[in-house]
Amino acid sequence: MAGSVGQVSLPPVELAEFPILAQRVHGNRLAYLDNAATTQKPRSVIESMTHYYEHDNANVHRGVHLLSQRATDAFDAARVKLAQFIGAQNPNSVLWTKGCTEAINLVAQTWGLANLGPDKRILLSAMEHHANIVPWQMVAERTGVTITPIPVSDEGVLDIDWLRANLDETVALVGVKQICNALGTVNPIGEIATMAHAVGALILVDGAQALAHAPANVVADDLDFYAMSAHKAYGPTGVGALYVRPEILRDLAPYQGGGDMIRTVSWEGTTYNDPPNRFEAGTPNIAGVIGFGAALDFLTRIGIDRIHLHEESLLEYGTSALSAVPGLTLRGTAPCKAAILSFTLDGIHPHDLGTLLDGHGVAIRSGHHCCMPLMKRLGVPATARASLAVYNTQQDIDQLVFALHEAKRVFA
């Protein structure tokens, strides 16, 4: 199964594990290259949720009947899996959220509101996703904290020297993507964490694009906050997670109010439960969490190393294949890059490309990728983006290149 043919390796999974890939799109084979937006789901993930609904569905934690116990067991087991997957020692340092966006908002609304003020600064990489910009702008409006972007080079490399020169004890937080969804850049989060901690700042890493490709080890990388989305890692929509360093989590003020997050409620006053419950008000996305657990099982079964090798081999092939297309400019050429190929093509707007490629069964994304400030920095209104996953093949890239040539014919 694994192995390499000529220069590109074969996927370390059976494509038949992904039911959606079998379909035809406008009469063509589907080349799904929009994985940074959301990955497809293996059968095991889909079935874990179907199984839950057909056998175990019940509300968690509060019931004493068998279904509730089964649901609770499966729900709690997923938390242990995720903690292990990212190297967290205590499963209770992992909180379930709606997704990566909510995870970052949770940090902003709890830790941020309590710890930021006009005398503090937040440094965010200039390549951040809106999800790691806007929540802080909203907190800045309330607290007066200053937000400063960490510069990025034309190639999409973060300016670490600038960061080193600008870190001082007024900096409360450094926020950075582990892998850039728009350019593929892999940022040196461990190094940044060390630098941040040296001046007493905390580090928040947006791991949305990394979980399925090269996840952090929150202990080895010494992270304070790590945000994730299941749907970008072969898991379901509607569920994500936030890791918080236990020492910070212990005293963190609650987030949303409601059931499960309280110890006692009375009209005179309410006391709160311990983490993680304190941050998980209301009925959670039980099926989603179980599906997330199944996605982690899938990743563990295939092995992040094998996934990484395969995607690297595709990236190399894709980079040279795209570079050979006349008029095409790759955007994001950092030396340390994940398997994301962002580009522009002379004379064809990315949206038109998106539609034209779709006509050939090739699904890519075009637009600002929720990184408007980065697009402005790079001087492009939008890019087209092919983002790869474990099930992609050389054929997918060849199909993309063929479709690009066809698109050029239409606009010739």
Ligand X SMILES: Cc1ncc(COP(=O)(O)O)c(C=O)c1O
Strands 28-29 and 225-229: unpaired
**CA separation for the pair 90, 106 (Å, rounded):** 19
Closest contact distance (angstroms) between CB of 160 and ligand X is: 19
The stretch near ligand X (CB under 6 A) out of 148-156, 203-211, 380-388, 397-405 is: 203-211
**Does residue 259 touch ligand X according to CB under 6 A?**
yes
80 binds another protein (CB under 8 A): no
Q: Is 180 a catalytic residue?
A: no
Cβ 57 to its own copies shortest distance, Å = 6
Buried b (16+ CB within 10 A) or exposed e, 130-152: ebbbbbbeebbeebebbeebbbb
Regarding 350 and contact with another protein (CB under 8 A), the answer is yes
| Residue 264 in contact with another protein, rule: CB under 8 A | yes
The neighbour count for residue 409, using CB atoms within 10 Å, is: 8
Selecting among 100, 180, 336, 370, the annotated active-site residue is 370
Minimum CB distance to another protein, residue 412 (Å): 9
Q: Map the footprint of another protein across residues 17-36, applying CB under 8 A.
A: 26-27
* Span near another protein by CB under 8 A; candidates 137-145, 225-233, 321-329, 375-383: 375-383
Nearest to 129 by CA among 221, 22, 50, 208: 208
State the nearest-atom distance from the C-beta of 64 to another protein, in Å: 5
Query: Cα–Cα distances in Å, from 15 out to 31, 127, 197, 313, 392?
Result: 12, 33, 43, 18, 9
Does 368 bind another protein (CB under 8 A)? Our answer is yes
Backbone phi, psi, residue 151, to 5°: -60, 160
- For ligand X, the binding residues in 277-316 under the rule CB under 6 A are 282-283
Question: Segment near another protein (CB under 8 A), from 77-85, 143-151, 177-185, 368-376?
Answer: 368-376
Structure tokens at 142: 């309330």
State which residue, 210 or 400, has the beta carbon closest to another protein. 400
273 binds another protein (CB under 8 A): yes
Q: Residues touching another protein: how many (CB under 8 A)?
A: 35
- List the single partner that 411 binds among its own copies, another protein, ligand X, none, CB under 5 to 8 Å by kind: another protein
CA distance 271 to 257: 11
Give start and end residues of each alpha helix (H) in 220-279.
Answer: 246-250
Are 372 and 309 a contacting pair, CB within 8 Å? no
CA distances (Å), origin 323, targets 174, 249, 333, 401, 404 = 34, 47, 11, 10, 12
Contact 125, 150 (CB under 8 A): yes
**What is d(CA 111, CA 102) in angstroms, rounded to the nearest whole number?**
14
Task: Work out whether 41 is an interface residue with ligand X (CB under 6 A).
Answer: no
Q: List the catalytic residues.
A: 370
Site residues (CB under 8 A) for another protein? 26-27, 61-64, 68-69, 72-73, 260, 262-264, 273, 277, 347-352, 355-356, 358-359, 366-368, 372, 375, 381-382, 410-411
Q: Which residues bind ligand X (CB under 6 A)?
A: 36, 99-101, 129, 131, 177, 181, 206, 208-209, 229, 231, 259, 282-283, 370
